[in-house]
């Protein structure tokens, strides 16, 4: 601990010691850059990030800290707002995407931050900057899901699982023991039916949605 020579005397009583040391300043103003904050704000769901006043209610009620060490939505927001990009990447990139979308944070946030969507936007911000070095499972799933919705109009559970495993290079695993016997059981009981994409005029809707994405 650095030596603290500050003196503080009130009414003749000396209060000194190391009083300043257990309250280190949390914000180093010269460090702050809003570059990353502005980027996250522009992503889907990131709009409300700047409203956060760092109370920590979200983290206090979050599902994950009990199961995932250092998972901390307030902290993720803080790092983005202070522009601590390197720290976000080095220590937190594998955590941010673990959010399970339970929405306890958004529900309780006293400032109206859409915390769950902000956390998703921060993960997307990292994905867009390619810090993972590969397609994440989240990206892979979102892609196959959205492709299927836009093309067929509905989700076929078997197809989505198959496409997801294919995209993440794990098709073999899907065709192995447990998964296959479960699939067989569901198929013979009639719970698995293949949806043939029969929504009337879906082609037109699909076309319009694709235009929206361009």
Partner 1 sequence: MKLGYFPGCSLKGMARAYDESTKIVAEGFGIELMEVDDFNCCGALEAKGSNEKLSYMLPARVMDSAKGRFHVDAVVTPCNGCYHSLLRANAAMNEDSAAKSDVISFLKDVGYGTYEGDIDVRHFLELFYNEVGPEKVKNAVKKSLKGLKVASYYGCLYERPKTITKTGYKSKRDDSENPYFQDELLAATGAEVVKFEAAASCCGGAHALQDESLAATLSAAVLSAAKKAGADILALPCPLCGAALDIKQPEIVKAHGNDAKIPVVYFTQLIGLAMGKSAKDLKLTDPISNPMEILKSKGLV
Residues that bind ligand SF4 (CB under 6 A): 52-58, 62-64, 73-74, 77, 99-105, 109, 111, 113, 115-116, 119
Helix (H) or strand (E) run with residue 10 in it? strand 9-10
Contact with partner 1 (CB under 8 A) among 78, 89, 103, 171: 103
Rule CB under 8 A: say whether 155 interacts with partner 1.
yes
Contact 38, 50 (CB under 8 A): no
Does 100 help bind partner 1 (rule: CB under 8 A)?
A: yes
Candidate list 117, 118, 122, 126; residue touching partner 1; CB under 8 A: 117
> Residue 69: helix, strand or coil by DSSP?
coil
- Residue 149 interacts with, from ligand SF4, partner 1, none (CB under 5-8 Å by kind): partner 1
CA-nearest of 119, 167, 117, 110 to 144 is 167
First to last CA, the chain: 56
Secondary structure of residue 59 in the 3-state scheme: helix
DSSP 29: G
Longest Cα pair distance anywhere in the chain, in angstroms? 87
Ranges within 57-76 binding partner 1 (CB under 8 A): 63, 67-68
Q: How far apart are CA 159 and CA 91, in angstroms?
A: 35
The nearer residue to ligand SF4, 115 or 136, going by C-beta atoms, is 115
Q: Report the residue from 20, 51, 70, 98 that binds partner 1 according to the rule CB under 8 A.
A: 98
Q: Is 142 in the site for partner 1 (CB under 8 A)?
A: yes
Q: Given candidates 41, 161, 162, 171, which one binds partner 1 under the rule CB under 8 A?
A: 161
Which among ligand SF4, partner 1, none contacts residue 210 (Cβ within 5 to 8 A by kind)? none
């Amino acid at each position: 601990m650095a030596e603290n020579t500050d003196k503080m005397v009130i009414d003749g009583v000396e209060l000194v010691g190391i009083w300043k040391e257990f309250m280190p300043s949390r914000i180093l103003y010269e460090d702050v850059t809003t570059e990353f904050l502005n980027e996250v704000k522009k992503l889907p769901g990131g709009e409300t990030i700047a409203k956060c006043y760092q109370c920590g209610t979200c983290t206090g009620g979050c599902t994950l800290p009990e199961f995932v060490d250092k998972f901390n939505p307030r902290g993720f927001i803080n790092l983005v707002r202070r522009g601590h990009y390197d720290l976000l990447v080095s220590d937190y990139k594998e955590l941010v995407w673990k959010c399970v979308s339970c929405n306890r944070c958004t529900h309780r946030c006293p400032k109206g931050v859409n915390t769950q969507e902000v956390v998703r936007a921060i993960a997307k911000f990292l994905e867009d900057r390619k810090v993972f070095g590969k397609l994440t499972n989240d990206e892979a799933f979102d892609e196959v899901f959205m492709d299927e919705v836009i093309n067929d109009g509905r989700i076929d559970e078997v197809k989505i699982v198959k496409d997801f495993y294919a995209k993440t290079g794990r098709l073999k695993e899907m065709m192995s023991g447990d998964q296959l016997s479960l699939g067989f059981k569901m198929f013979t009981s009639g719970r698995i039916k293949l949806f043939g994409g029969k929504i009337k005029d879906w082609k037109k809707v699909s076309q319009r949605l694709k235009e929206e994405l361009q």
